[in-house]
């Protein structure tokens, strides 16, 4: 029996136990980031299709509006996080 294979199997089996568990807030943040990235990719694909094959201009306008809303939301969240961080820094110790 190969010792290295046994060690590798043992490590692979116990690795999932050492991974940190994600809380509800962390999971929500990750899903929001994935949704943001998906919106940007969908909008980019629609824009490329519209420019290369002359697809529906209404779909392009809709995709651009969704992208604008997603970017504005991301900027607002970022601003709130920065404000919270600055507020924490102002707290007396």
Domain ranges of the chain: 23-90
The proportion of the chain whose per-residue pLDDT surpasses 90, expressed as a percent, equals: 26
Average pLDDT score, the chain: 82
**Distance in Å from the first CA to the final CA of the chain:** 59
pLDDT in tens, 33-53: 888 899 899 988 888 888 888
Confidence (pTM) = 0.62
Please tell me the distance from the alpha carbon of residue 26 to that of residue 19, in angstroms, as a whole number.
14
Phi/psi-derived region of residue 54, left when phi > 0, alpha when psi is between -120 and 50, beta in every other case: left
Each residue of 72-84: pLDDT tens digit?
Answer: 999 999 999 999 9
């Amino acid at each position: 029996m190969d010792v290295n294979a046994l060690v590798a199997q043992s490590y692979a089996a116990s690795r999932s136990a050492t991974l940190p568990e994600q809380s509800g807030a962390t999971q929500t943040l990750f899903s929001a980031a994935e949704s943001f990235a998906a919106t940007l990719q969908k909008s980019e694909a629609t824009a490329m299709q519209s420019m290369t094959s002359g697809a529906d201009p209404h779909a392009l306008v809709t995709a651009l509006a969704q992208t604008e809303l997603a970017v504005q939301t991301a900027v607002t969240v970022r601003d709130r996080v920065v404000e919270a961080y600055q507020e924490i820094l102002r707290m007396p110790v």
